[in-house]
Amino acid sequence: MTRIQGSKYSGIIVAAGKGERFGGYKQLVKINGRTIVHEVIDRFARCGIDELILVVRRDILPYFTYLKDLYSMPIKIVEGGEERGDSVYNGVKSSSYDNVLIHDAARPNITCNLINRVKNALLKYDAVVPIVPIRDTVVKVEGEEISGRVLRDKLKLVQTPQGFKKDLLLKGFDIARGKKLQFSDESTMLWDTLGISSHVVEGENLNIKITYREDLFMFRHELTAMGYDIHRLKEGGVLKIGGVVVKRGIQAVAHSDGDVVLHALIDALLSIKGEEDIGTLFPDTDVAWKNADSKVLLSKALDFVGKVDILKVDLTCILEHIKLSPFKEEIRKNIAGYLNIPKERVSFKAKTKEGVGEVGKGKAVEAFCIITYSDPV
């Protein structure tokens, strides 16, 4: 293999674990709309790394091929091994450069600052490891009792990315693999095989490794989705707002029953999935939706969106001449029921347009919906 000399860096992202403690492939779980491993790749791709090596399991290889194609930088995909050390070894062997940064795919909060700290220290040291202090008191436990205190000042928690000179690391691996030794990280492997102490740099408290399912709670962000709809009004029939008949003798001009609030809600829900709007899911050319009850459309939209934690639904309906405040609580209750969330998480505001435009003249009704949500854990 041709070796390219100089300060160039391979980022090796080890993503070939089974996630036994998590209960499944944690690297493929979505947080904030993106898989954990995608987030890691994206962050590395933006932080001055010259090539990426993704170490993956064979059964999920197609997904990684898909991710690779999203980026223009050099990315290699390598098959992992039974133990983490085997996966790292396979990755390091395929590196094109002298410096390797090994990172757990399960640490999506990696920052360029930390990557740069490791890269810079690697200009001077052969092995670099980020560490963080232990926050809690550390004790020894025997059976069900504390049997002693441990001074924690000198104890630190080890993180990734760990940076190494490739040749040195491979030397350590040769010994470790020859003796069939396994290590949970490479710095301890170098210490045990070659007696080499790694240089430490400051890690980051937020750079935690997702190990158990509950760890996901720390990563959830609130996301928002917005929906809007408008309908002209005409005489006859009934006007439905949020599943409530608010007036007889007037109706919304629509293919379905024209419940503008539910339609704005559906649009916001579809936006969670990146869909355009209600018309793409329920086209008005489809007779199936002629005069359809918007509750039915809503339940279909919910099925389409799948599992999502809805934290807040904020609705505003703009309608002239018809007072909606008497129906406010019923509308909130309906919407909460449809979405299976507490009523306190739904707000409904009724406004007029102060006589401005078609809505202001009472010729149309419009509604806005903002949903705050997060991915489910």
The answer to whether the beta carbons of residues 331 and 337 sit under 8 Å apart is no
In degrees to the nearest 10, what's the CA dihedral of 132, 11, 120, 1? 140
Copy the structure tokens of residue 241. 């707002």
Q: What share of the chain is helix, strand, coil (3-state, %, to 5)?
A: 35, 30, 35
Report whether 95 contacts 63 (CB < 8 A).
no
CA atoms within 13 A on the CB side of 87: 26
Which one of ligand CTP, Mg ion, none interacts with residue 36, CB within 5 to 8 A by kind? none
> Is 83 or 293 the residue whose CB approaches Mg ion more closely?
83
Q: Choose one: 59-67, 102-110, 124-132, 271-279; the region binding ligand CTP (CB under 6 A).
A: 102-110
Q: Applying CB under 5 A, which part among 12-20, 113-121, 265-273, 283-291 lies near Mg ion?
A: 12-20
Q: Which stretch binds ligand CTP (CB under 6 A): 62-70, 83-91, 127-135, 267-275?
A: 83-91
80 binds, among ligand CTP, Mg ion, none (CB under 5 to 8 A by kind): ligand CTP
Output phi, psi for 323, to 5 deg: -75, 125
- For Mg ion, the nearest residue by Cβ is 17
- Among 82-90, 216-224, 339-347, 365-373, which window interacts with ligand CTP (CB under 6 A)? 82-90
**Residue 16 in contact with ligand CTP, rule: CB under 6 A:** yes
For Mg ion, the closer of residues 17 and 108 by Cβ is 17
Reported in sequence order, the residue ranges of the chain that DSSP labels E, i.e. its strands, are 4-15, 30-31, 34-35, 51-56, 75-79, 97-104, 127-133, 138-142, 145-150, 156-158, 162-165, 199-202, 223-241, 244-252, 309-318, 346-351, 364-374
Q: Which of 10, 35, 87, 159 binds ligand CTP (CB under 6 A)?
A: 87
Count other Cβ atoms within 10 Å, centred on residue 100: 24
Give the nearer residue to Mg ion in terms of CB position, either 86 or 375: 86
Per-residue x/- track, 106-135, ligand CTP (CB under 6 A): x-----------------------------
Site for ligand CTP in 153-212 (CB under 6 A): 209, 211
Among 12, 52, 75, 105, binds ligand CTP (CB under 6 A): 105
d(C-alpha 300, C-alpha 79), whole Å: 40
Binding residues for ligand CTP, rule: CB under 6 A, are: 14-22, 27, 55, 80-84, 87, 104-106, 209, 211
